[in-house]
Structure 1
Amino acid sequence: MLQRSHHDMPDEALMQAYAAGDSAAFDLLYARHEAALLRFVRRLLGTRLAAQADEVFQDTWMRIIGARASFDAGRAGWRTWAFTIAHNLAMDRLRTSGREQSLDQAAPEGDDPLDWLQEALDLAHPPADDLAHWRAAGRQLLHCLDALPDAQRAAFLLHHEDGASVEDLAARLGLGFETAKSRLRYALAKLRGCMQHYLTPNGAAR
């Protein structure tokens, strides 16, 4: 059982404790971030490479474990560091894999596109009688996300999944500020255009 003190420790302190040999600290880190990292990897790879998401997710944690001694909390927070590792591994997979999968593939279990739509586009919780409509909209958003260029999808996900600011995006992706800003702006514009039917009063009316 984890010591109670572990639960009060920030991620950075847990990582440092793990590097010093405290395996329980790693267990808590994994429990805190397992779902968010897996969701991020799945969405970044898209339905084309959905079958490889678990492998990239596991590779991310193996990379985190392997780099435990070199983690420097003074350079980046643990979550930023971990999501950057996941981003780099997923982008490597996108660059090297030629496998294609159908865009009709369902979203992974536990990855509710309704929740994704509300969070990503800042929509209020829909009335109960509109749930079917908004679930369809959520599925459409996943299709729209798949259609983005990989670099724009990565910028959008780092911003919305990990909360990265434009400055963070620029630093983490090795881009100039204006380039990072434009990449995010183009991604948002394409997504909103693709989702136009669901974001207009006529489209949303039932």
Structure 2
Amino acid sequence: MKQAAARIDRFTDASDDALVRAFAGGEALAFDELYARHEQALYRFVRRLLGRDLASQADEVFQDTWLRMIQAAPRWAPQGARFRTWLFTMAHHRAIDMLRRSGREVSGSQDETDGEPFAPPGEPWLDWPAPSAAAPDELAFWQRAGQRLLGCLEELPLPQKAAFLLHHEDELSVAELAAALGIGFETAKSRLRYGLAKLRTCMGAYLPAAEMKGGGHERATA
């Protein structure tokens, strides 16, 4: 029992890279630890990338991503990339395949090269109330805002949605984003910039908090 516990503790404290190498060497517990670390974030990424129309395919893409990871583990060579980024990139490719099979448009939008995106003046979300469990009205505001954000994500073109989700879920820099998506730096920067601008406009991020909670209340709901 003590030996088994020691093995579990060793994997709990190990880096993702070490876990991949251990799993490739036959340590099943290493995979269990990797799965536990990244399961929720990966599924959330896949679900949001596929959107409402293909929500029923999320499980298939999620499971196939892990299967591909298992098959590729013996050849794992990070070359500066994090395991999580590698995993999300595989999920992105698999999701794109699924979307294409369903007839969805997955190419970049033309307006990404048409100059700077529109952005109202002011600091986004500056006047929004801080989330606080001690203030039920403010907590309700943030719950509505979260629902609205999911609705706004549905409206983004797929390339911009993928850029935003990878940046948000995996905290990728623009350079890392470009490498993960296999696109140029300026294209990655443009997709992220346009995606963020559209989300801010859709969210009504520049409206005063009072208006969001009062007369403009419907704009904060999905």
- Whether TM-score is above 0.5 comes out as yes
Q: Is the alpha carbon distance of 1:34 and 1:188 closer, same or farther for their aligned partners in structure 2, counting shifts above 3 Å?
A: same
The answer as to whether partners of 1:197 and 1:204 remain within 8 angstroms in 2 is no
Q: How many residues align?
A: 185
User: Residue 74 in 1 paired to residue 79 in 2?
Assistant: yes
| Structure 2 equivalent of residue 147 of structure 1 | 155
CA distance in 2, matches of 1:40, 1:174: 18
| Structure 2 equivalent of residue 129 of structure 1 | 137
Structure 1 residue 33, shift from structure 2 partner: 0.7
Deviations 1:119-167 (A, max 9, x none): xx89742432222232222111111100100010000000001111100
User: Residue 185 in 1 paired to residue 193 in 2?
Assistant: yes
The answer as to whether partners of 1:145 and 1:153 remain within 8 angstroms in 2 is yes
| Structure 1 equivalent of residue 34 of structure 2 | 29
Q: Which runs of 5+ in 2 are unaligned?
A: 105-124, 215-222
Structure 1 residue 56, shift from structure 2 partner: 0.5
Amino acid at match of 1:181: K
TM-score of the two chains, using structure 2 as the length reference = 0.77
What fraction of aligned residue pairs are identical, expressed as a percent?
57
Amino acid at match of 2:177: L
The answer as to whether partners of 1:137 and 1:198 remain within 8 angstroms in 2 is no
Deviations 1:13-42 (A, max 9, x none): 000000000001111110111111001111
Mean Cα deviation higher: 68-77 or 184-193:
68-77
Structure 1 residue 202, shift from structure 2 partner: 3.5
| Structure 2 equivalent of residue 103 of structure 1 | none
- Summarize the alignment of residues 35-46 of structure 1 with structure 2, pairs less than 5 Å apart: 35-46=40-51
The answer as to whether partners of 1:198 and 1:204 remain within 8 angstroms in 2 is no
| Structure 1 equivalent of residue 211 of structure 2 | 203
Deviations 1:84-136 (A, max 9, x none): 1111111221122148xxxxxxxxxxxxxxxxxxxxx8974243222223222
Structure 1 residue 205, shift from structure 2 partner: 3.9
Give the SS at the match of 2:77: coil
The answer as to whether partners of 1:197 and 1:203 remain within 8 angstroms in 2 is no
TM-score of the two chains, using structure 1 as the length reference = 0.83
The answer as to whether partners of 2:131 and 2:139 remain within 8 angstroms in 1 is no
| Structure 2 equivalent of residue 105 of structure 1 | none
CA distance in 2, matches of 1:129, 1:43: 27
The answer as to whether partners of 1:144 and 1:195 remain within 8 angstroms in 2 is yes
Amino acid at match of 1:125: P
Structure 1 residue 9, shift from structure 2 partner: 0.6
User: Residue 13 in 1 paired to residue 18 in 2?
Assistant: yes
User: Residue 86 in 1 paired to residue 102 in 2?
Assistant: no
Q: Which runs of 5+ in 1 are unaligned?
A: 100-120
Q: What is the CA RMSD across the aligned residues, in angstroms?
A: 2.1
| Structure 2 equivalent of residue 194 of structure 1 | 202
Structure 1 residue 197, shift from structure 2 partner: 6.1
CA distance in 1, matches of 2:12, 2:168: 26
The structure number with the bigger radius of gyration is 2
| Structure 1 equivalent of residue 108 of structure 2 | none
The answer as to whether partners of 2:148 and 2:203 remain within 8 angstroms in 1 is yes
Structure 1 residue 198, shift from structure 2 partner: 7.8
